Amino acid sequence: MLNKVHHVTYVVESISDMAAYMEKSFGVKPISTDEFTEQGFKSILYRIGETLVDFFEPLREDTTMARQLKATGPGVMHVAWGVEGIDAAFKSLQDSGNQMRGDAPATSPFGYKTANIETTSSHGIHFQLAEGEPA
């Protein structure tokens, strides 16, 4: 079912500071910079080999990422595992007893499909599955 690390998402205080650090230290530039006002965050997205790496900066205190940043500081928010056939994978996970977020995979703000296993089913670990490429 799992075929690669699709993306790694970090939460940070400032995406502009992180973009400057990534360019100075590693010589990489983001493939996109976006602001998702309704969802409450700004992001920068990189492609490192076949893996996407994104950094989120919370815009509001009422978001999960803002609470994580306040509680633990900057760091990994989640790792998304690549799959083919995410709809079938979603159903298979449900059938094997996993509680899933929502009734079906969702489309991320970046345009690829995601599915999330509730942490109560996965020993407290946030498992996200992803299929597709950023739009």
Q: How confident is the model at residue 49 (pLDDT cuts 50, 70, 90)?
A: very high
Q: How confident is the model at residue 135 (pLDDT cuts 50, 70, 90)?
A: confident
Provide the CATH number for the domain around residue 66: 3.10.180.10
Q: What integer pLDDT is reported at residue 59 of this predicted model?
A: 97
Q: What integer pLDDT is reported at residue 27 of this predicted model?
A: 97
> Has residue 100 got a pLDDT over 90?
yes
Going from the C-alpha of 8 to that of each of 48, 55, 82, 115, 130, the distances in angstroms are 10, 9, 11, 15, 11
The model carries a pTM of 0.89
pLDDT > 70: what percent of the chain? 100
**Structural domain that includes position 14:** 2-131
Split into its structural domains, the chain has a count of: 1
Parallel, antiparallel or unpaired: strands 2-11 and 32-36:
unpaired
